Amino acid sequence: MLAWPADGPWSASIGATTDYILRGVSQSYGHGAMQLGANYQNTQGWYIGAWGSNVDPYPFLGSAQELDLYGGITRPLSDKFNASVTFTHYLYLNDPRPVRYDYDEFAISARYLDRLVATVSYQPDSTLYSDLGFADRRPNLAYELAGRWPLQKGFSLEAGGGYYDLQHLFGVHYWAGSAGIEYLYRQCSIELERFLADSTVGRLYGEASANGDWVLSAVVRL
């Protein structure tokens, strides 16, 4: 989902989804999730924020909470284009897994109005477990493109996809994406999405692959 522009320096969100899916992989193992976020952006373009969700990364051990702490800067390139650089630290709280899976991410994005955004992300220290093995503190890259096409009466079409390079982790790469429709009414949005992921995601994560999944989400922005 493309982010909405904030009306002031402070913004917050409360959301619920039938499945928390990130880059073609269910982070809640097919279950619902509650999500909260808060963000501050000043007039010079600097921003900081936090976002959190319940996750179930390894369902046989129990659930945890994901907390993302981020900061960055946005700069206009023209009246329609802007670019941003973001650093995010991903934390997993109350995680029952024996290894810490916290990691960092550096991202560069280019945006055209609220219609199109392209992002390149680099994670220098990913720790992941998959059916293809265990990777401890290794780098990976992500290339993503997302777009929105406004319709009438508050509706819009949304689609996005990405290429994920896990060569340093598991010797593979994969494609994943989604398409859906969003309804926006004042500060509330409801979105129905269909997710797709190539067969490599199933090889990596089994039933956590989001290929073919339908997800319904609702967000209230404050």
Could you read off the pLDDT of 10-52 as tens digits, one per residue? Answer: 999 999 999 999 999 999 999 999 999 999 999 999 999 999 9
pLDDT average, residue stretch 77-94? 96
* Helices of type H across 106-173: 167-170
Phi-psi region of 163 (alpha: psi -120 to 50; beta: other; left: phi over 0): beta
Q: Which residues are registered as beta bridge partners of 4?
A: none
Say how far apart CA 25 and CA 207 lie, in whole Å.
9
pLDDT in tens, 115-163: 999 999 999 999 999 999 999 999 999 999 999 999 999 999 999 999 9
The yes-or-no verdict on residue 176 having pLDDT over 60 is yes
Q: Which residues contact residue 156 at a Cβ distance below 8 angstroms, ignoring those fewer than 6 apart?
A: 148, 149, 150, 181, 182, 184
pTM: 0.94
Domains along the chain with CATH numbers = 10-221 (2.40.160.160)
Structure letter (DSSP) for residue 105: E
The yes-or-no verdict on residue 5 having pLDDT over 70 is no
The yes-or-no verdict on residue 90 having pLDDT over 60 is yes
Q: Which residues contact residue 53 at a Cβ distance below 8 angstroms, ignoring those fewer than 6 apart?
A: 20, 27, 28, 33, 34, 35, 36, 65, 66
> Position 218: which residue type?
A
